[in-house]
Amino acid sequence: MASAPADVRVPTPSAGPPLATVPKATPPEAPKTPVNLLDVVPAKVSVSSAVRNPRDFPEHLVDGRLDTAWNGKTNDLAGGWIAFRVPADTHVTRVELTAGYDKVKGALDLFAANHRIAKVRVSRNGVSLGEHTLDTSVRGFQSISIDAAGGDYEIKVLATVAGTKAPWRELVVSELRVVGIPGKERRAAGEPLRVSIGGLDEEPESYALSDTSSGIVGPAATIPELCALYLAKVAAAKADIEETAKSHGLTLEPATCVELPNAPPFAANATYKKVLAVRMSDGIRTTSNLVLGTVRGLFVLPITWAVDDQLDPGCPSIVRVSAISAVRTENGHFLAVTEGDRGTYDLAGKFMTIGVTGASFCTEKGQSLTCAEYPSYMGSLGAFAIAPDGTLRRQD
């Protein structure tokens, strides 16, 4: 990598006659130091495709780590591309990228096992800036000189070298850096750099989520203490619950909260220590709820299944969650995937029942635990995963 320009220093003048009547000279401005523009300016990055699994995300291309990687979809090799957009007033000095996946995983060298990029064409605003050969034996960053203004850039893959794993036919790039001098614009503090799929004007994937944090109960040290908190919450809302039961002609049952014997299997870590389950009722609605143990204690989460609700109108189109199919941690979040069913009609007008999949995730940050839900109402959308920036994604 080229070194940053040295500071420009103004020589100290030698002694001489007083210069009181001469205007003071302004020292020349020191040249700006090149930076990774993707860390600084309001940039966009896009890739031609992305593999679908709960481990690899397009954002891995720009996360500053060589032990993660963007993985394209199978057979997206020659013709695949990476694109980026930086403001017009920036100056792009060079592009730096890896030819492959610079990681060794146990006995498996992922650099040697995967395809590596041998040749690319770089274009700016649709005009070719030239073709460049990458050394497929070199790990780490390789530099491509640009020396041009900002704009829309594309790095198109023209050739690859196959790896030792013949079935692995994906573009795999650990990291991309765009080195240059920023202009006036800066990305807002804390705003993540998202990577879209299929074009710079495509929106990065994410799902519209409902904030369900108000349904959290806790923390408490034990399940009995947690249930006591829940029952106190029900007691505080007793007047409203009784009015609801009366207005609908319902029989108000006693409020209850008991631990369930069989919680979903869960691999704990230092933040999310255990998963339990409770069955609880406010007298009208009875639910099975996940309980999450964190460093601060136990919390009842607003993640429910096997719901018995006296206010359920019985409409077949309503999703009824029957089970939690998976609970796990991903990228610092706790994720639960739900399974259920709903009624619908086929094109011939015949009633049918379809399975549906939904997801909820919770995040523990300091003294705050938050939860959000992607409701399961549109049919099975495949597996879910949490991306590095904390957004929920679908993984086919």
Q: Would you say 46 and 197 are in contact if contact means Cβ atoms under 8 Å apart?
A: yes
Ranking 96-110, 111-125, 186-200 by mean pLDDT, the lowest is: 186-200
Is the predicted pLDDT of residue 378 greater than 60, yes or no? no
Percent residues over pLDDT 70 in the chain = 85
- pLDDT tens readout for residues 204-257: 766 667 889 999 999 999 999 999 999 999 999 999 999 999 998 998 999 999
Query: What would the two tokens of residue 252 be?
Result: 């108000």
Ranking 125-134, 229-238, 267-276, 356-365 by mean pLDDT, the lowest is: 356-365
- What's the pLDDT score for residue 254? 93
Domains of the chain with CATH codes: 35-197 (2.60.120.260), 210-236+252-395 (no CATH)
- What's the pLDDT score for residue 346? 66
Mean pLDDT of 124-143: 96
Mean pLDDT of 152-165: 96
Q: Would you say 29 and 61 are in contact if contact means Cβ atoms under 8 Å apart?
A: no
- What's the pLDDT score for residue 150? 96
- What's the pLDDT score for residue 24? 42
Own/partner pairs, 22-31, CB within 8 angstroms, 24+ separation:
31/5
Ranking 5-19, 111-125, 132-146, 169-183 by mean pLDDT, the lowest is: 5-19
Q: Would you say 44 and 196 are in contact if contact means Cβ atoms under 8 Å apart?
A: yes
Q: Would you say 372 and 209 are in contact if contact means Cβ atoms under 8 Å apart?
A: yes
Is the predicted pLDDT of residue 176 greater than 70, yes or no? yes
Confidence of residue 383 (pLDDT cuts 50, 70, 90): low
Query: Mean pLDDT for the chain?
Result: 85
- What's the pLDDT score for residue 279? 97
Query: What would the two tokens of residue 248 be?
Result: 């609908």
Which residues make Cβ contacts (< 8 Å) with residue 263, sequence separation at least 6?
275, 276, 277, 290, 291
Mean pLDDT of 22-43: 69
Burial class (CB in 10 A: 0-12, 13-18, 19+), 201: exposed
Is the predicted pLDDT of residue 67 greater than 70, yes or no? yes
Angle at 206 between CA 204 and CA 207, to 5 degrees: 150
- What's the pLDDT score for residue 84? 97
The dihedrals phi and psi of 228, each to the nearest 5 degrees, come to -65, -40
Mean pLDDT of 193-200: 88
Which residues make Cβ contacts (< 8 Å) with residue 355, sequence separation at least 6?
339, 340, 341, 379, 380
Highest mean pLDDT among 187-191, 278-282, 312-316: 278-282
Is the predicted pLDDT of residue 332 greater than 90, yes or no? no
Percent residues over pLDDT 90 in the chain = 57
CA distance 293 to 362: 12
- What's the pLDDT score for residue 192? 74
Q: Would you call the peptide bond into 5 cis, given omega within 30 degrees of 0 as the criterion?
A: no
- What's the pLDDT score for residue 63? 83
Confidence of residue 10 (pLDDT cuts 50, 70, 90): very low
CA distance 149 to 346: 55
- What's the pLDDT score for residue 334? 92
- What's the pLDDT score for residue 85? 96
Ranking 18-22, 72-76, 233-237 by mean pLDDT, the lowest is: 18-22
